[in-house]
Structure 1
């Protein structure tokens, strides 16, 4: 569940926290639920239930907000254009682009991009089809910024109703976290990363798969300026890679780079220096965007 806080008191929730029997809105305890009822929950309970329950309702709401932001951001570029998928204009939903397409190519509705991605996964499998959730079908380049965020919410709302053990649902959480990072919604991204790692631990997935999630969490900690926590996680990932893959394995090398870079960031912060590092930093990889069922690279 991405809704990780009580609807009444905002306290962190356990994965099995109690909730409303009708709309599945979750609470810390019965006291919080009764307090929420007194504050008007009954007035929106049926609406939330019709929207698929608390988590689905929340995801749909966030998706619509993200689409509105993306459409507004792209408005000047998309004026007078048509969607390359459905061939309709942007009079109703609005169009976006934010890939590497140029000229009259690449304009689309977020809903069309989401449906295209969903169909690709259904037809050719998650390993080959998942890339449509974050790359343009024309230029094959990664979407960025507000479009990546909107697609992250689209992906999550599409698969969140599946069992927790389903690969598409697990990878949809990763896509959502990536999208939130793309627009610097760092606290929200952290909530997603922590919820995902907690779920993977509870499900008992193979350790190597968990290390990918830990690497993503460390990146988020680093962006939030929480270097100590990023260092701890990157250290754990590195030594786990050494144990599982050996010191000369490519994945271990990536983990070592992350570990060393976090150390350097902390030292630079302590010394209050603005000098650039002596060695170039490797970019954050696309491994966090690949499905669990396909070969993945570690976070760099």
Structure 2
């Protein structure tokens, strides 16, 4: 599932490609992917312009000139592609939004969604999300107080969107590895030094992941060399049995609360 760095990469690239452009047509092939009937969806979107694209946690928010918002959550298996009738993936598209001859294809939205919302509805939809870890106001004292109130394992704590927004399976493991802490270590067992290095690792891993374009495998458009660059940077995630980049011990995979988790037993404690 795309996490904060993947959605931030999408936000930046989509802003370059689509900001200021007007929606000229919409094709809906799966009504369950949207929250209003198709006729109303089309009526309220066609001829509206994209004024801004924002990110909140794992969501993208397309701000429209009409005052409405399109809220996107890709969930598991969802991705996007910008192209044309001649250049697009040979995959089922649940929703297609046209901007003249340029089209934005939404693919794999079996669990994901694209909701048309007012500002008030949008605020309510996102109300339960925790702080943004890359926000400038998210300082070490804020983090220390936040994690100090938790009693669960680091893995389950980090993937809890009410604790922090935007972190999932991949980056929870990468952050724990960077900090040298086991993902099953309890938050209330951290001392001051461990809490501080965990905060630094959180910031460092997410910054690096955004810099390299996240781990999404599919490019956003033809010639896109940014998306997915972090795949080669992962230290533990999806590296079961491969040598640890620190100590050469094999990376272990196990399930924690039904979530696949990767770590090095030798250099994380």
TM-score (norm 1): 0.27
Relative to its length, the structure with more helix (as a share) is 1
Q: Find the structure with the greater CA-based Rg.
A: 1
TM-score, with structure 2 as normaliser = 0.30
Q: Point out which structure has higher relative CO (alpha carbons under 8 A, 6+ apart).
A: 2
